[in-house]
Amino acid sequence: MAKLLTFLGKGGTGRTTVAIAAAKQLANLGSRVLLVGGDPSPAFGLQLGLTPDGEPQEIAANLSVVQLQETALLEQGWEDLKKFEAQYLKSPTLKNVYGQELGILPGMDSALALYAIREYREGGKYDIIIYDGSGDFATLRMLGTPEIFSWYIRRFRQIFQESDLGKAISPFIQPVTSAIFNTSWTADDYVPEPTNGSNNMLEEAKEAMADPKQVAAYLVTDSSSTAIATAKYLWGSAQQVGLTVGGVLLNRSNLQEDIKQEFTPLPVTSLPTLANNNWQPLIDALPNFRQGDTAPKPITVDIAKSQVKVFLPGFAKKDVKLTQYGPEITVEAGNQRRNILLPTQLRGRSVKGAKFSEGYLIITL
């Protein structure tokens, strides 16, 4: 399955330029690369010197490019949804609604982009997919969708099963579902877990996010204080969705010791300015993106010490809120929450203490 690589940083720091250079570098090294543009505006194509569309097109040896078009993705996704419904409903209800009629609701573009990236990753045609999105919280929300969605399913399923309504209708679930669906559920299945296909999709996506060999990000910044502050904030926020950040790309700036200290322990690479459309100096200055798996992991669990360590660079203790409900610990940092489901060995224990040390929130149970 293809590795997914993306870039985070303040607008104007050259994220798209870096993404294109990275795609060129990896293609030159022999990897089959797909560069995915998440911005539907003409800017993406102008930097490439061509007009990409909704289908991948090869622009050089080992290098293809595609620009996501949400309306086309919605049409295809809707057709897939209708096929999915027809598998489970004896009388499908969506067959007379057409994707060409639908508009893009807020947040739907991120879900469609994530689905498209998944299809490209599983297609077997590419070794590396580089996603050039907005590079901010929209990208992080997109990549965090599997974890968030699975949490909603898990928690609301539990709440419904324990409610009086859930207990009252449980004797009728099996005969009713047998009459309506091509399968039947028992009381333990309602509200049901996702079907095997969708459940596998969520689990695979969560596993990929937790594995930096499959999904990784790099911070892009320049030497300005606002760009550095934004990059650090995005770094900490990336940990909240389980995204490993492999390094920092200091674009159009010379590396200084104070900037290097800002991002310790990440490696910081200085990149030259792209001049006269000569990409080679920039390509040559890029780091080895295959080394992203050496970066600090967002979460580590030490069962022997009864500790959970959450890596939250860019945040101070005052920025972090910690709560516990049942078997889960919720960490709120910045504008994001992360629900940590404790391993079996630590469930049932209450939080005894927490401290902030060298960018880590260390929780003791």
Supply the pLDDT for residue 273: 92
Under CATH, domain 3-74+101-148+203-294 is a member of which superfamily?
P-loop containing nucleotide triphosphate hydrolases (3.40.50.300)
For CATH 2.60.40.790, the residue range(s) in the chain are 299-364
Contact yes or no for 272/19 (Cβ under 8 A):
no
Phi/psi at 361 (5° precision): -90, 115
What is the tens place of the pLDDT at every residue in 313-353? 888 888 888 888 767 888 888 778 888 888 888 888 888 88
Count of Cβ atoms closer than 10 Å to residue 74 Cβ:
20
Classify 257 as helix, strand or coil: helix
Q: How confident is the model at residue 79 (pLDDT cuts 50, 70, 90)?
A: low
d(CA 33, CA 37): 13
Q: In what order do the strands lie in the sheet with 328-333?
A: 320-325, 328-333, 336-341
Extended beta strands in 146-260, E state = 215-221, 245-251
Average pLDDT over residues 69-95: 63
For CATH 3.40.50.300, the residue range(s) in the chain are 3-74+101-148+203-294
Q: What's the mean per-residue pLDDT of the chain?
A: 80
Contact yes or no for 190/160 (Cβ under 8 A):
yes
The b-or-e profile of 146-167 (16+ CB within 10 A means b, else e) is bbebbbebeeebeeeeeeeebe
**Architecture, CATH, for domain 299-364:** Sandwich (2.60)
Place of tokens 């489970």: 88
Tokens of 173: 């679930």
- Name the nearest CA neighbour of 302 among 365, 237, 230, 355: 365
Supply the pLDDT for residue 280: 95
- Measured in whole angstroms, how far is the alpha carbon of residue 99 from the centre of its chain? 26
Q: What angle do CA 13, 17, 18 make, to 5 degrees?
A: 80
Phi/psi at 203 (5° precision): -65, -40
Q: How does strand 336-341 pair with strand 353-357?
A: unpaired
pLDDT at position 13 over 90: yes
Q: How confident is the model at residue 195 (pLDDT cuts 50, 70, 90)?
A: very low
d(CA 248, CA 255): 11
What is the tens place of the pLDDT at every residue in 221-260? 999 999 999 999 999 888 888 888 999 999 988 888 889 9
Higher confidence at residue 365 or residue 145? Answer: 365
pLDDT at position 165 over 60: no
Q: What angle do CA 230, 248, 279 make, to 5 degrees?
A: 110
Count of Cβ atoms closer than 10 Å to residue 111 Cβ:
18
Q: How confident is the model at residue 357 (pLDDT cuts 50, 70, 90)?
A: confident
Q: How confident is the model at residue 205 (pLDDT cuts 50, 70, 90)?
A: confident
Average pLDDT over residues 61-83: 74
Extended beta strands in 97-174, E state = 128-132
pLDDT at position 99 over 70: no
